[in-house]
Amino acid sequence: MIKQTNNEAVQQPPRHVAIIMDGNGRWAKARKLPRSLGHKQGVEATKKAVRAAAELGVKYLTLFGFSSENWNRPAEEISDLMRLLRMYLRAETAELHRNNIKLQVIGNRQQLELDIVELIENAESLTAENDKITVTIALNYGGRNDILQAASQWAQMCQAHDITPDFTAAEEHFSGFLSTHGMPDPDILIRTSGEQRISNFLLWQCAYAELVFLPVLWPDFSKADMEFSIQEYMTRDRRFGSLETARG
């Protein structure tokens, strides 16, 4: 349960939680297990995180599932990851729908195999009208590429409508060209495994997100860790560059 405190900096609970799910390989190595088993246990942690976020009233949960740089990993590991993705989509889509959870995927799908793309499209179509929580999985995603594509689309729109580019207007409307359009920016970015970097994830969107770095490896991530992270967020003094505390 999320508890309020008397600290003046306390915020409302976050609407949007983003997570870099890190530590599957180290979890497996510590147990002298194959990395594939670490990723498998990581999928179970993902299911728990989705349930926990929904129970805690989070409206948007965005998970970094596979970065555009992850293609540099060994082919066998990539194959295992894609196999687990297929299993997750096949096994969980109906369950997500029954629980009124919307699922969507951002990132470049051109490198994904056709059957995976079809599973993604089926999940997105089936859950499109659900509104308890929106779960977004970033696959083959990179924050720099997201910004570059948005800038390109903005420039094309200006050219098509003979609009002189204006930086003030561009910043105001830029988020509408990002892959996360329609969602609020993350209030909090959680990274597990003890690493303290954002690894090209939601670079524009996380400009003012509160960062929480946890020592726990992703397969061990629990509802208690989600509650701790949200409680930590709620004690932060969010000013967004001003001198006054931002409320709500």
75-98 and 35-55 helices cross at what angle (nearest 10)?
30
Whole-angstrom distance, CA of residue 90 vs CA of residue 71: 23
Confidence of residue 6 (pLDDT cuts 50, 70, 90): very low
Beta strands, E only, 160-240: 188-191, 210-213
Domains, the chain, in order of start with CATH, read 16-146+184-234 (3.40.1180.10)
Please tell me the predicted confidence (pLDDT) of residue 248: 44
Residue 58 has pLDDT above 90, yes or no: yes
Mean pLDDT over 154-175 rounds to: 81
Catalytic residues: 22, 70
DSSP letters for 88-115: HHHHHHHHHHHTTEEEEEES--TTS-HH
Tens of pLDDT, residue by residue over 73-132, are: 999 999 999 999 999 999 999 999 999 999 999 999 999 999 999 999 999 999 999 999
Mean pLDDT over 45-67 rounds to: 97
